[in-house]
Amino acid sequence: MNRRASLGLAGLSALLVLLPAFAGNYLLSVATLFLYFAFAGQAWNIMMGFAGQLSLGHALYLGAGAYTAAGLYFHFGIGPWAGLWLAAALCAVLGAALGALAFRYGVAGVYFTLLTIACAEFARIGLDHFDWLGGSGGLFLKIAKRGDIDLANLRGPPAMFYYVILLLAAAAMALSAYLLRSRAGYYWQAIREDEDAAQALGIHTFRWKMFAVTLSAAMTGLAGVFSAFYYGNLFPEQVFGIHRSVEIILAPIIGGIGTIFGPILGAALLTALAEGASEIVAALGWEVPGVKQMIYGLVLLIVIVFLPQGIWPALARKLRVKK
């Protein structure tokens, strides 16, 4: 990273760390949403941007993580910091199973994508009928009492959640940066560009693809755990629905697949645009559902047609943050 980039990053980090000191609850909730998408987007980016496998069923891991941790808390009182380990492990296993089956049977490209969608949908409908975890009526977690900060059980004020997700997003960014420069990063990119050539150079493609899929799934599971406790309620349609999967992929695609900062920029842009649009619509007195999603769709369309690499690569060159 050159000096400009380092300074920029430092400035941004300072801003984010100090935000709760001067931001109201609304701005804080928007920032939390931004960081959530930044985190989940980075997790997805590992599978797509680094290893080149397009998953449109990542909601499966969001849901699995969310319901595991929430279920443990709801039925057994086990807090999220303990529950997240099981959630991440379960998601890793799910990701590994999907990956193993798909790669072993040669399910690639669009077929792999459809497989991921089918699995998420299957889980959604399954959980709709699974009453022990609330079924279609939903699962509700106890709300914190006003003013209490129960970090152990993640029950508390918005600022607490904000710092948790900030930590997660920062950790994800550090991990992604490290991986991209390591052997894993080189091998993943080689596999993404040309699997045959990668194999001929000694790369055990199956193993490395599995690594990407499993890691991506486990990290997404953590995002699920966070969202379960942040929102306090879970419905299969909300958690496993395909719109959730689509939501996760928007930020990295718009920002730039395969880059470190892309998903973060994409998340910031999307959150800002969506909230801005909602404000304008509300101010005009229109009570119109679908505006946010429409903006997402239009931005995605514009980006994929004119800037398929995402916004960050072009922007980085302009800002001279990259060499």
Partner 1 sequence: MNSLLQVERVAKSFRGLCAVAEVSFDILQGAIVALIGPNGAGKTTLFNMIAGALAPDSGAIWFDGARIDGLRPDQICARGIGRTFQIVKPFAGLSVLDNVVVGALQRAASVNDARRSAAAILDKVGLGAKRELPATALTLPDRKLLEIARALSTRPKLLLLDEALAGLRPAECDRLVALFRELHRSDGVTILLIEHVMRAVMALAQEMIVLHHGNILARGAPDRVVKEAAVLECYLGENVEL
Partner 2 sequence: MSFDFIGFLNIILSGLLTGAVFGLLALGLSVIFGVARVVNFAHGEITALAMYTTVVLFSFLHVDPFIAVVPVAVVFFIFGYLLHGAVIHRFVHRPEHVQFILLLAVAIVITNGLLITFGPDARGVSLDYLLESIEVGPFLIDRGKFYAAGVAVAAAAGLFSFFRFTATGTAIRACADNLHGARVIGLNVKRLYALAFGLGSACAGVAGCMLVVLVDLTPGSGPVYTLLAFVIVIVGGLGSMTGALVGGALIGVSEAVAGFFISPSAKSMFSFALLILVLLFRPRGLLGGRL
Q: Kindly list the residues in this chain that would bind partner 2 in the complex (CB under 8 A).
A: 48, 54, 56, 101-102, 105-107, 109-111, 113-115, 117-119, 121-122, 125-126, 128-129, 136, 242, 246, 249, 253, 288-291, 293-294, 296-298, 300-301, 304-305, 308
For position 205 contacting partner 1 by CB under 8 A, the verdict is yes
Rounded least distance, CB 252 to partner 2, Å? 11
End-to-end Cα spacing for the chain: 9
CA angle 53, 33, 293 (to 5 degrees): 70
For position 258 contacting partner 1 by CB under 8 A, the verdict is yes
Nearer residue to partner 2 within complex by CB, 174 or 302: 302
Q: Which does 181 bind (CB under 5 to 8 A by kind): partner 1, partner 2, none?
A: partner 1
For position 200 contacting partner 1 by CB under 8 A, the verdict is yes
Q: Which does 129 bind (CB under 5 to 8 A by kind): partner 2, partner 1, none?
A: partner 2
Q: Which does 177 bind (CB under 5 to 8 A by kind): partner 1, partner 2, none?
A: none
Rounded least distance, CB 178 to partner 1, Å? 11
CA angle 290, 293, 297 (to 5 degrees): 130
Burial class (CB in 10 A: 0-12, 13-18, 19+), 135: middle
Nearer residue to partner 1 within complex by CB, 155 or 192: 192
- For 183-213, give the DSSP string: HHHHHHHHHHH-HHHHHHTT--HHHHHHHHH
Contact (Cβ atoms closer than 8 angstroms) between residue 31 and residue 20: no
- How many residues touch partner 1 under the rule CB under 8 A: the total is 21
Contact (Cβ atoms closer than 8 angstroms) between residue 313 and residue 256: yes
Q: Which does 128 bind (CB under 5 to 8 A by kind): partner 1, partner 2, none?
A: partner 2
Q: Which does 89 bind (CB under 5 to 8 A by kind): partner 1, partner 2, none?
A: none
Rounded least distance, CB 23 to partner 1, Å? 38
Contact (Cβ atoms closer than 8 angstroms) between residue 219 and residue 45: no
Report the alpha-carbon distance of residue 122 to residue 126 in Å, rounded: 6
For position 270 contacting partner 1 by CB under 8 A, the verdict is no
Site residues for partner 1, window 20-49 (CB under 8 A)?
Answer: none
Contact (Cβ atoms closer than 8 angstroms) between residue 222 and residue 46: no
- For 260-297, give the DSSP string: SSHHHHHHHHHHHHHHHHHHHHHHTT---TTHHHHHHH
Q: Which does 17 bind (CB under 5 to 8 A by kind): partner 1, partner 2, none?
A: none
Burial class (CB in 10 A: 0-12, 13-18, 19+), 51: buried
For position 106 contacting partner 1 by CB under 8 A, the verdict is no
CA angle 307, 313, 317 (to 5 degrees): 120
Nearer residue to partner 2 within complex by CB, 3 or 129: 129
Burial class (CB in 10 A: 0-12, 13-18, 19+), 34: buried
Q: Which does 205 bind (CB under 5 to 8 A by kind): partner 2, partner 1, none?
A: partner 1
Q: Which does 200 bind (CB under 5 to 8 A by kind): partner 2, partner 1, none?
A: partner 1
Q: What residues make contact with partner 1 under the rule CB under 8 A? A: 181-183, 186-187, 189-190, 192-194, 196-205, 258
